[in-house]
Amino acid sequence: EIPTPGSDSSTDELSKLYIPPPPPPPPLDTDRLRSATNSDGLLAVLGAAQVLRAMQDGSAKRRVLESIESVEEWVENGEQSVAFRVASWRDQRAAQGDLKIAMESDSNFMAFISNKAIANRKRFAEQLKAASAVTDFDSLQFLQTIHSVLSQMNSPCLRLELLQYILGLDNRYSVAHVKRSVELAATCLNISSGSESEDVLADEKAITQ
């Protein structure tokens, strides 16, 4: 008997011939790759992926708020005590040596003795407050604010450490590494928003035709 279209036997035959598509590949484990590489270029690319993830899952905004609180507490204590600032300088020197934190240079002792470190961190807290107001995955403003902060850094210690924490990057990321990762993340967002705009324009054109 020859199965006719629409009959049960025809449907059964077609179902036997159907080959399901292969499952999608597993997501790329960027954390493992980032921890395994020493390449500056790969660190920047994988860092950009981490920056975008931190923006998307909300961890960047949460960590910005925690960092603001931490900096403001340091400033309050630093304004009241030179001894506190000297102890802070010693702690950061030890961290640079023990953890091999990717600082641009050793902590400047005179910046801690004078009011320069306090002024730098007050300004940093204000910049973080500006960044926290615009931490949206579809906005470039957050990345632009962070990039501006990085561009103004000379010999950061705590500030760089906090930016690493905010963006989810490890202590191998120097100012240059973080800056490049932010630039690549901004490029990805720019391309994404540009593609979405083109899709909207195409839809509007199709509707009007």
Write down the pLDDT at residue 185.
93
pTM here? 0.69
Q: How many alpha carbons fall within 13 Å on the CB side of residue 122?
A: 10
Write down the pLDDT at residue 125.
92
Query: Cα separations (Å) of 128 from 76, 131, 158, 159?
Result: 17, 5, 13, 10
pLDDT tens for each residue of 148-178: 989 888 766 788 889 999 999 988 888 899 9
Write down the pLDDT at residue 97.
61
Q: Which residues of 169-197 are buried (b: 16+ CB within 10 A; e: fewer)?
A: bbbbbbbebbbbbbbbbbeebeeeeeeee
CA distance 37 to 159: 24
Write down the pLDDT at residue 197.
43
**DSSP label at 24?**
P
Write down the pLDDT at residue 91.
81
Picking from 92, 97, 98, 127, the residue whose alpha carbon sits closest to that of residue 112 is 92
For residue 176, what are its two tokens? 């240059």
**DSSP label at 53?**
H
How confident is the prediction along the chain (209 residues), in pLDDT tens digits per residue? Answer: 444 555 555 566 656 666 777 776 555 566 666 666 667 788 888 899 999 999 888 898 899 999 999 999 999 999 998 898 888 888 877 766 654 555 444 556 777 777 888 888 899 999 888 888 876 656 788 888 899 989 888 766 788 889 999 999 988 888 899 999 999 999 988 876 554 444 434 444 444 44
Write down the pLDDT at residue 71.
92
Residue at token pair 């906090």? 162
For residue 98, what are its two tokens? 């023990």
**DSSP label at 170?**
-
CA distance 41 to 43: 5
Q: Which residues of 26-61 are buried (b: 16+ CB within 10 A; e: fewer)?
A: eeeeeeeebeeeeeeeebbbbbbbbbbbbbeeebbb
